[in-house]
Structure formats: C-alpha cells, structure tokens
Amino acid sequence: MSRLAGVAAVALVALAVGFVLAGQVRAQLLTPSNQVARYQALVRSVQELEAANADERGQIADLRAQIDALESDAAARSATTQALKNQVSDLRAHAGLVAMHGPGVEVFLRNGVPGRDSSSGSGYQVNFQDVQDLVNLLFAQGAEAVAVGGRRITPLSAFSGSGGQIVIDQGPPLASPVKVDAIGDRNRMLAALDDPSSLPGVRARQVQFSLHLTFTGLPDISVPASDSSLQVPHVTAS
Amino acid sequence: MSRRPRTRRPPVRGVRGLSVWLIALLVALVATVQIRSQAEVERSLVGVDTTSLAFLIDDLHSANESLASQKTDLTNLRATLQSGQAGAADQALTDEAQRLRAIDGLIPVQGPGVVMELDARGLTALDLQDALNNFMAARAEAIDVNDHRVVTGVAVEQDGGNVTVGGAVVSPPWTISVIGDPVKLAEVADLMTQQLLADRRVRAAGYRTVNDIVISSVIREKPFVYAIPS
C-alpha cells in the first residue's frame, strides 16, 4: 500500500512540475518571439523611412542643382540677372547650400567603455549634446563651414536624438564614431580643442568612460552642401 | 546448485527513474528555449531600445514630410525658371535673396511665435545653448535673445560669470523671441518652462504666444576667408 502511495505521490509531483514547466515554456516562447517580431517591425519601419529620407534628400539636391543651372542660363542673358545671381550665390554659401573646401580641422568623437555599475547609464556614448557643444566651439573659433557626419550645418540646424543617436535637421540618425569637419583657421580651432577647459562634458567622460576625442588639422578639407529643408514659411521681412 | 534468486526491481524505483528523466528533459527543453530566445532578441536589438526606435520613427516621419514640402517649393521654383517669362528669373532671384537673408539673420523679420522670459541666477552658456537648440529643433525660423540675433553658428559662450551671444554679454533676465509655428514652439516653451521652474537657480520663467513678433536685430555678414566654393 505504502509503495503504491509513493508511486502516486511521485506521479502527482511529476505531473505538477510538468504543468508548471509547460506553462513556463509557453510563456517564454511567446514573450521573446513577440518582442523580436515587434522589434523587427520597428526596425523595418526605420529602414523604410530612412530609404525614403535618402531619396527625398537626393531629389532636393538634384532640384537645387537644376535651379542653379537655370539661374545661370538666365544670368548669362542679362547683367541685372547676373548681379542678382551673384548675390544669391553668396547668400546660399552662407546658408550652407554650397559645397565648400579649404583648410580646417577634422574631429572624431567615439564612444567610450560602458561603466561597470548600472548607474553610469549611457555616459559612455557620444550624444547629440556633445556634438552640439563641439560645433558651437568650432563656430566660436571662427569656423566658416561645418559638417557633421557629412551633414552640412545651416543657420537653422538643430541637434536632437536619444541615447547614442544624433539627429541633425531632417537627416537619418548618426552614431559613434562621429566625424566633424570644419573649415577655418586651423591653429585657432586646434588650440581651442586642445584647451582642457573646453568641452567640459566630453572631458569629464573621457576620464570616466574613456570617451574618445581626436582631432587633426588638414590643409584642405571638403564639406558638402546641405540637402535638408530650409523653409521659413512664418517669417517675412519687416 | 541452487539458482541465484532473480532480484526484481521494485516498480516504484522504475517510476521514480522515469519521473526524474522526464523532469530533466523538461528542464533541458526550457533552458534551451530560453537561451535561444534570449540570443535571438540580443542579436536583433543592437543596443537600441524600442522606445528610442519609436521616437526615431516619429522624427523620420516628420523629417520626410518637411523634405517633401521643400521639394514641392523647389519644383515650383524650377517651373517658374523654366517658363522663361520675361523677368521671371529676376523675380525668383530677388525673392530667393530676401528669403536667404532672413535665414542668414541679415535682415529684420517678423511673424508669429513665442516670447519666453527667463530670470535666473547662475545659468550658463550651456543652458542658453540648450534652450535655443530646443527651439531650433521645433523648426524656429528666427531667434533673438535680448536684442541679439541668433542663428546656428552664432557662438553662445561662457565668459567668466557672463554668457555671451556672438561676443556680446547677455545678462539675465533673458527675453527669447522666436518666430515659427506658434503651436510647435508653444509646446517646447511649455516643457522648458516646467523644467526651468523646477530648477533652483531660476527665479521666474514663462512664455506667451504672440501673433506678430518683430525681430529687429541682425547679424553682420562675415566674408569667407578660408572657405572656397567647391
């Protein structure tokens, strides 16, 4: 009798364990596969939107080139139009709508090493504020044209993003390593980048997370024209 | 010679053994499923969480709409130039020059937007720079701080205890006038006001939506010394 009772107890325990484990297996199978599917759907959306974004920017660059050619044709027929065209060309250059080259600096910002404790968060990553501070520093030192990751900075440029993603204007997100090119007085910009009191946020994280900031002066660097929107529908000259 | 008595395993031991095997099998199955699922998730995550992806999608939608609108404007401009009508090119170039002067901050401008007032002690250039960037990210079209015109490229710097904009000291209280879409700008101004009021350094912060802000300050155009058109 006692043997039978023992067998029954083991069977019951095994059955209960089996049910619990089966439930667990089902739950575990369901959650991660849903998470993966949802994540993959989001990634697909981002990829499609980025492809559309690149296409739109390409078309904008083409349209600007066509408009420039048409303006040049018109300018060739009239001195007045030529004078206007010259003014517009200069204003476009200042607005970042013309590709430029000249001496300058090439700066790289790279992610550091994650901290061991969870409280250190994303401090090891290059973020949009680091890039914003760097661009502001370069302009303060007389930079005449700046590009971040091949995206030209314009008078209306804005920096945003979350975590290690850096979004500039209507472009796709950039991430480490971030390359910043600036045309201007090399010596002045290099001296500012060398100054330990500049870019305090980046310097602190260089120590804490081994964030990388490297720079070099070059005799001739190129920055592209902006391919972003420069609409100002709410502003009128007063 | 007596036959060696056959030892019979008690049935309960057989059942126990089977149970143990079953349990071991189930545990192995669960562990395998768990490890494979986890590996699959980690492979695809590549360090970006779903919330960041959702924000990114929102940003890209908005960016693509803005680019599409710009494309329409440029297509119309191209059509005007292609028409070859007398004076069409001159008019298009004159309009473009005026628009670019507004963008470059070279002429006084007006339009709807928000005016933010901020009085604080100890705010730094980085605080002002962040505030200006927040407005820029909300598609600000013209900005003025205490009668100093600001565009991206005008340096906002710390000079000892002072904050300078384009080399000129701007002392608190700061009045930040921003022209652009008043709804978008008000959303940003509202968020910033809430954050600023929680900052112990801030004595007062607020904003108002204005139908017609006039910004008279301008930036002096600097000729290029180093940069040459490619």
pLDDT at B41 over 60: no
Instruction: Output the 3-class SS for chain A.
Output: CHHHHHHHHHHHHHHHHHHHHHHHHHHHHHHHHHHHHHHHHHHHHHHHHHHHHHHHHHHHHHHHHHHHHHHHHHHCCCHHHHHHHHHHHHHHHHCCCCCEEEEEEEEEEECCCCCCCHHHCCCCCCCHHHHHHHHHHHHHCCCCEEEECCEECCCCCCEECCCCCEEECCCCCECCCEEEEEECCHHHHHHHHHCCCCCHHHHHHHHHHCCEEEEEEEEEEEECCCCCCCCCCCCEEC
Residue that finishes a domain, picked among A69, A94, A119: A94
The answer on A219 and A158 residing in a single domain is: yes
Spatial separation of the C-alpha atoms in residues A169 and A158, rounded to whole Å: 6
The model's pLDDT over A83-128, given as tens digits with 9 standing for 90+, comes to 999 999 999 999 999 999 999 999 999 999 987 776 667 889 999 9
For residue A124, being part of any structural domain is answered with yes
Helical packing angle, B11-45 and A2-75, nearest 10°:
10
Its domain, for residue A184, covers 99-223
Chain A hits for B39, Cβ within 8 Å:
none
Spatial separation of the C-alpha atoms in residues A179 and A126, rounded to whole Å: 11
CA contacts within 13 A on the Cβ side of A107 = 28
Q: Give mean pLDDT, residues A24-46.
A: 75
The answer on A183 and A147 residing in a single domain is: yes
pLDDT at B3 over 70: no
Chain B hits for A146, Cβ within 8 Å:
153
Which range has the worst mean pLDDT, A19-28, A58-67, A182-191, B150-159?
A: A19-28
The answer on A219 and A148 residing in a single domain is: yes
**Average pLDDT along chain A:** 90
Show me where the domains of chain B are located. 14-44, 50-102, 110-215
The model's pLDDT over B92-136, given as tens digits with 9 standing for 90+, comes to 999 999 999 999 999 999 999 999 999 998 889 999 999 999 999
% of chain A surpassing 90 pLDDT: 71
A165 to B52: CB separation less than 8 angstroms, yes or no: yes
Chain B hits for A88, Cβ within 8 Å:
93, 96-97, 100
Q: Give mean pLDDT, residues A36-54.
A: 89
Q: Give mean pLDDT, residues A39-44.
A: 87
A10 to B64: CB separation less than 8 angstroms, yes or no: no
Instruction: Output the 3-class SS for A4-55.
Output: HHHHHHHHHHHHHHHHHHHHHHHHHHHHHHHHHHHHHHHHHHHHHHHHHHHH
B78 inside 8 A of chain A by CB: yes
Chain A hits for B81, Cβ within 8 Å:
67, 70-71, 74
Residue that finishes a domain, picked among A64, A94, A124: A94
pLDDT at B9 over 60: no
pLDDT of residue B36: 63
Chain B hits for A10, Cβ within 8 Å:
12, 15-16, 19
For residue A230, being part of any structural domain is answered with no
B179 inside 8 A of chain A by CB: yes
A158 to B137: CB separation less than 8 angstroms, yes or no: yes
Backbone angles phi, psi at A220, to 5 degrees: -155, 115
For chain B, what's the residue count? Answer: 230
Q: What is the CATH number of the domain that holds A177?
A: 3.30.70.1880
CATH of domain B110-215: 3.30.70.1880
Q: From B133, which residue of chain A is nearest by alpha-carbon distance?
A: A158
pLDDT at A10 over 80: no
Chain A hits for B28, Cβ within 8 Å:
none
| Token pair for A112 | 């550091």
The answer on A155 and A179 residing in a single domain is: yes
This prediction has a pTM of: 0.79
Which range has the worst mean pLDDT, A16-30, A106-120, B146-160?
A: A16-30
Q: From B62, which residue of chain A is nearest by alpha-carbon distance?
A: A170
Which range has the worst mean pLDDT, A76-80, A84-88, A155-159, B1-5?
A: B1-5
pLDDT of residue A30: 57
Tally the domains of chain A.
2
The answer on A85 and A194 residing in a single domain is: no
B197 inside 8 A of chain A by CB: no
Q: From B50, which residue of chain A is nearest by alpha-carbon distance?
A: A39
pLDDT of residue B86: 72
**Average pLDDT along chain B:** 88
pLDDT at A53 over 60: yes
Residue that finishes a domain, picked among A94, A117, A151: A94
Q: Choose the closest CB to B142 out of A36, A60, A235.
A: A235
The answer on A112 and A77 residing in a single domain is: no
The answer on A66 and A47 residing in a single domain is: yes
